[in-house]
């Protein structure tokens, strides 16, 4: 079974703090994704990566950056957290560009005070 894990289930940070969210997948997937999920807005893509050291902006990249130094690990970084970044953050991975089922982690509920 595909396993996607996220470093924290719940996180509370203060405005202005730098926040790291980590995601690890164990299936050698090429593609990894970061989404945020908010009531009424559904899943919105922040960033994704096709390969190590590669990244592409999604629909809402502002205020976020990402890092993919190893194939299995994709990190989402909030350089200076703000209250409007309070959300559920979901990581996903998929096998290749032509096999597109995305498998999700359990999510990180981030609260920025």
Partner 1 sequence: GENVGLHLPTLSVQEGDNSIINCAYSNSASDYFIWYKQESGKGPQFIIDIRSNMDKRQGQRVTVLLNKTVKHLSLQIAATQPGDSAVYFCAEFSGYSTLTFGKGTMLLVSP
Where do contacts with partner 1 occur on this chain (CB under 8 A)? 4, 31, 33, 37, 39-43, 45, 48, 50, 58, 88, 90, 92, 94, 97, 100-107, 109
Distance of closest approach, residue 96 Cβ to partner 1, in angstroms: 9
Distance of closest approach, residue 109 Cβ to partner 1, in angstroms: 6
Distance of closest approach, residue 63 Cβ to partner 1, in angstroms: 19
Which CB atom, from 24 or from 92, has the smaller least distance to partner 1? Answer: 92
| 25 vs 72: CA distance, rounded Å | 5
| 31 vs 96: CA distance, rounded Å | 6
Which CB atom, from 19 or from 92, has the smaller least distance to partner 1? Answer: 92
Distance of closest approach, residue 72 Cβ to partner 1, in angstroms: 17
């Amino acid at each position: 079974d595909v396993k996607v894990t996220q470093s924290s289930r719940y996180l509370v940070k203060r405005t202005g703090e730098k926040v790291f969210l980590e995601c690890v997948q164990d299936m050698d997937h090429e593609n990894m994704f970061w989404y945020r999920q908010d009531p009424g807005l559904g899943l919105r893509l922040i960033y994704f990566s096709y390969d190590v050291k590669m990244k592409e902006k999604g629909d809402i990249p502002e205020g976020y950056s990402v890092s993919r130094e190893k194939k299995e690990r994709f990190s989402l970084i909030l350089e200076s957290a703000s209250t409007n970044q309070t959300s559920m953050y979901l990581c996903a991975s998929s096998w290749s560009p032509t096999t597109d089922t995305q498998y999700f982690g359990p999510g990180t509920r981030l609260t920025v005070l």
